[in-house]
Amino acid sequence: MDLHIPLLLVIIAVAALAAGAWALRNRRSGAGRGPAAELSAARPGAPPAEPADGPSFVPAPPGFSACQKKIALIGDGGVGKTSLVNRFVKGHFDDRYIHTIGTNVKKKPVLLPEEKAEITLMVWDMQGQRNDPTVMTHMFRSEGAIVVCDVTRDQTFNSIPEWIALLEKELGHRVPMVLLGNKADLEEQSLIGQSQLQYMASRYGASWHLTSAKTGQNVEEAFTELARRTLSGK
Domain of 214, CATH number, reads 3.40.50.300
d(CA 112, CA 128): 31
Residue 12 scores a pLDDT above 90? no
Same domain assignment for residues 10 and 46: no
Which of the two residues, 193 and 136, has the higher pLDDT score?
193
Which of 17-31, 88-102, 143-157, 197-211 shows the lowest mean pLDDT across its residues?
Answer: 17-31
pLDDT, residue 25, reads 52
**Number of alpha carbons in the 13 Å side-chain half-sphere of residue 24:** 6
Cβ contacts of 155-162, under 8 Å, gap ≥ 24: 155/76, 156/75, 156/76, 156/78, 156/79, 157/181, 157/191, 157/192, 157/196, 157/200, 159/75, 159/76, 159/130, 160/75, 160/200, 161/200, 161/203, 162/130
Residue 50 scores a pLDDT above 90? no
Same domain assignment for residues 169 and 78: yes
Same domain assignment for residues 27 and 140: no
Same domain assignment for residues 125 and 27: no
Average pLDDT over residues 180-194: 97
Same domain assignment for residues 83 and 4: no
pLDDT, residue 91, reads 78
Average pLDDT over residues 143-165: 97
For residue 175, the enclosing domain spans: 35-232
pLDDT, residue 138, reads 81
Residue 178 scores a pLDDT above 70? yes
Residue 20 scores a pLDDT above 50? yes
Same domain assignment for residues 25 and 73: no
pLDDT, residue 35, reads 40
Same domain assignment for residues 13 and 96: no
Contact 110, 224 (CB under 8 A): yes
Same domain assignment for residues 26 and 61: no
Same domain assignment for residues 97 and 169: yes
Average pLDDT over residues 4-29: 56
Same domain assignment for residues 143 and 156: yes
Same domain assignment for residues 96 and 192: yes
Same domain assignment for residues 60 and 7: no
**Number of alpha carbons in the 13 Å side-chain half-sphere of residue 26:** 9
The total domain count for the chain is 2
